[in-house]
Structure 1
């Protein structure tokens, strides 16, 4: 009915976008089911009840605004994971165009309900990115109709904001990005290094300067080419994908990089894919029916809404006081993005220790709790966890930078003193095997990657030096109150 409406030569793009975004939702809901109750549930570190209080006369936009329980949370997460799995398999896409539309909007609504009560533990830019991506991808339709061209263009606009916003925040935020020295430090001080981070850190400094230069090119120039005619747009998308793969290879940034890679496919047409992979048809899989009028109207209405909401993030891109990872509405649609506006040059890590000793002196036997993604044991090689999101580990990194804990860290220490099973399941190592320690404390260390010579001599992956005590020994009295050690005992 409307010939310009369908982009029949972007079938691969639609398949990657729908299945890829659904796969990330699957990971997000599994992460929520595993971590939310211990972090934010009825006995969480930041109980969700405080997020459900009215703010400015309004309650958060969430299905939990009327009632929250850990059981209901798990039901919502399980339902979201099930719907995501169906979309990853591509089954709803064989139905009418309304079916994947409704299911993606259900994912968006369910995860919006979680994020809006997730407080600090859900305050990451990739949460809003996933919400925005899920909402937009909902309007790509099913295999019966060609992918709507307006939706594909808006996803390109999302990738543009994501990349160009990150590039601008770097140029405005830290001199090290401007003088090309940022990666002298970043691989070592990033929130959660992976097995290749040390190798990347030890590359020669000229290579690091080239990395930064390449980053500026990929984030400040290439995004404009996403809107160019083919095959230029496909080449620009390929550059975005390659740079994101480098970030995947050298760090753990939850699903940020994977989702960016998926979204970049909105600029890759079937003709370009066919030129590289002749087995893929040049015009994709032809639609079996013309888009019904109702679908055209719904998609155009959604596009108009998104265009109207674009004013605030567009203005933000060129503002001297550019906001990073900000939402301008309650629905987390058409957001502002950015990362690492400043680069940490010194890695500080907080190590939590406990003891069974009656007197918490330095002579007592203190045993360290182990986290999954944080550096702890200097001999332990960092692991790869992304695209899975270790929320507590990330907050511990921010805490070491001087972030206010808003009470969650104090509650974490209390839960460790109680040997709370849900909390201990968030950790890699409980040195007391479920037994309650009598005292806990938190020490601060300076960590750096071992040089090649230090690695050969000591076998260690990290070198560390103690900087001081963050929290002096704490215990729990029988009535649940805090018991502080006598300073003369330390």
Structure 2
């Protein structure tokens, strides 16, 4: 390794770029499947309406020049194809300039979606994918020696991601300081996974161990990421283990998966060579112009890092914040506060809106509903509607721009909207009325689980939206 290229990191680059390509693929597929119902011209928050009140300077996107549902689908399909080409190794066969154009295309296409995605794309893992994806542009194909400076920028991204998450916890909810947050978190997290019931039922002493391990990793071990090898590799492996733990204990879209991929990219390439039967490239070039580009990138990231570092050091630290419209260098953090009580929205419909009406539930794909249904595994795929329903249960203000439109689509039995759900009580037939109830959910005890087979126990709290028909829908807008 020298200051400008690290031939021994070729396997680390291979793991890293393939992993980021997988996440891009999931992101574009999710946009293709969910975008029409959420963002389309007849979606819950239509992009054309958003574009009337936005500018290219504030939210760069190719959709400022033209919008159509067909163009949006074309962007998603193009991104999917480019992701698959990268996974198949086609990008590695391109000249350096071709590699850069391909990865820059992936980044620009996804940036175009995120910047018009409104509330549905307001998650930290969107900017994380964009920042990581932009760095991939400058790593180069298989026949080029990985640029050392870009590898350092990957470690710098991982450091900010983990350290920001650790600081926001330490500065936020008191339960992180008294080590009790995980008494609640497995039960109240936005979308529990198949093993979350068992994690929640661990002894409280083990919850304290979980919390301490989180603090040690995010506030202490992360500084090893900025050290030379092998220290950086050891620190990265610790991050891999902790992220793997989060992967099996919850459903956080691709946040933990992409963090894990970034950590694998920081692992010493020589360690991979010792366990993977892969022959190294016969020759690795280092074009002078490509080295110059990597130096320019490092300078750019250093300048753009000033605001995120100030945010890290501030007592008023903000989570998941972008300081430039291209989302090149961002601040991260999660769960500065932990909810103690889980509340869920239950959406119901009836075919006869009278006092004797029988109400039947809509089932969502990922969020809790049927108390006997085991929480499913969806991550790293992102169910955007399910996540937003969790936020509305915390505060109805999160649904101000779209909840009434969602109910209207259910009353119309809109096919695109129904495809976001697991099941509708009347199939593709429009109901006569819908309503939204608020329930308190908790995981069953071990005894309750044995007796009933249920994972959840729920208690009715109140009616959030009273029964509404198509004619009455305007009254809640």
User: Normalised by the size of structure 1, how large is the TM-score?
Assistant: 0.94
Taking only aligned residues, the RMSD between alpha carbons, in angstroms, comes to 1.6
Verify the 8 A CA contact 2:143 2:283 in the aligned structure 1. yes
Determine helix, strand or coil for the equivalent of 1:329. coil
For residues 302-342 of structure 1, what are the alpha-carbon distances to aligned partners after superposition, in whole Å with 9 as ceiling and x for unaligned? 22111110101111111010010000000011100000000
1:342 is matched with which residue? 337
Partner deviation per Cα, 1:397-434 (whole Å, 9 max, x = no partner): 00000151132011000100011010000000111011
Q: Which residue of 2 aligns with 1:95?
A: 94
Output the CA distance in 1 between the equivalents of 2:256 and 2:24: 14
Distance in 2, Cα, partners of 1:369 & 1:414: 14
Q: How does 1:49-448 map to 2 (within 5 A)?
A: 49-55=48-54, 58=57, 60-275=59-274, 277=275, 279=277, 285-286=280-281, 288-359=283-354, 361=355, 363-404=356-397, 405-448=399-442
Mapped contact 1:95–1:143 kept (Cα < 8 A): no
Contact 2:224 2:235 in 1 (8 A): yes
CA gap 1:97/1:403 in 2 versus in 1, 3 angstroms? farther
Moved more, 180-189 or 53-62: 53-62
Unaligned runs of 5+ in 2: none
| CA-to-aligned-CA distance 1:204-256 (integer Å, 9 cap, x gap) | 00000000000001100111001223222111100000000001001000000
SS at 2:441 equivalent? strand
Between 305-314 and 388-397, report the one with greater CA deviation.
305-314
For residues 432 and 450 of structure 2, what CA distance do their matches in structure 1 show? Answer: 38
Q: Which is worse superposed, 145-154 or 94-103? A: 94-103
Of 191-200 and 293-302, more deviation after overlay is shown by 293-302
TM-score norm. by structure 2 comes to 0.97
Q: Which residue of 2 aligns with 1:5?
A: 4
Residues 54-113 of structure 1: CA distance to partner in whole angstroms, max 9, x if unpaired?
A: 447956310000211111000000000000011111221122222221111100000000
Call closer, same or farther: CA 1:8–1:458 in 2, change over 3 Å: same
Q: Deviations over 1:360-407 (max 9, x none)?
A: x3x310000000111000011011000000000000000000151132
In the aligned structure 1, how far is the partner of 2:222 from the partner of 2:46? Answer: 41
Counterpart for residue 450 of structure 1: 444
Q: Secondary structure at the match of 2:3?
A: helix
Aligned length: 475
Cα distance, 1:291 vs. partner? 1.5
- 1:3 CA displacement: 5.3
